[in-house]
């Protein structure tokens, strides 16, 4: 089994396609999906078109969280799903500055 094999929505294991981005994952609840394509407004994940994905999600590069987002399914694309971001907030090392003196 591939070291990057993940559990699909029905529990089956599969290896992400060769074209996926090296260590980018979308985490929705307790499930993780490899990201194949990522842009400012959407992402393409390797997930069954029957997987019901919406709501809060997080984007990870390996174990480092990059962003929090609110997702919605846009359209199935082959074996994967295109998700659009209703909101996407980058994770920062420092808290936001509320005001300045």
Residue 95 lies in a domain: no
Distance CA 23, CA 35 (A): 8
pLDDT of 100: 65
Q: Which percentage of the chain shows pLDDT scores above 70? A: 75
Residue 94 lies in a domain: no
Residue 72 lies in a domain: yes
Residue 101 lies in a domain: no
Residue 53 has pLDDT above 90, yes or no: no
Token representation of residue 16: 């992400």
Average pLDDT score over residue span 86-100: 82
Burial 42-79 (b: 16+ CB within 10 A, else e): bbbbbbbeebebeeebebbeeeeebbebebebeeeeee
Residue 85 lies in a domain: yes
pLDDT of 9: 44
* β-pairing verdict for 6-7 and 13-14: antiparallel
pTM: 0.70
Residue 53 lies in a domain: yes
**How many domains, in total, are found in the chain?**
1
Token representation of residue 99: 């005001």
CATH number for the domain harbouring residue 11: 2.40.10.430
Q: For residues 52 and 83, is the Cβ–Cβ distance under 8 A?
A: no
What residues make up the domain containing 25?
6-89
pLDDT of 47: 83
CA angle, residues 84, 88, 90, in degrees to nearest 5: 140
The residue that leads in pLDDT, 17 or 66, is: 66
């Amino acid at each position: 089994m591939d070291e990057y094999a993940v559990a699909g929505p029905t529990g089956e294991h599969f290896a992400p396609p060769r074209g996926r981005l090296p260590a980018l994952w979308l985490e929705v609840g307790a499930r993780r999906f490899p990201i194949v394509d990522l842009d400012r407004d959407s992402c393409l994940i390797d997930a069954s078109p029957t997987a019901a994905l919406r709501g809060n999600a997080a984007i990870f590069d390996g174990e480092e969280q990059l962003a929090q987002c609110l997702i919605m399914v846009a359209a199935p694309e082959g074996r994967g799903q295109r998700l659009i971001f209703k909101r996407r907030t980058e994770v920062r090392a420092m808290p936001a500055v509320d005001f300045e003196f």
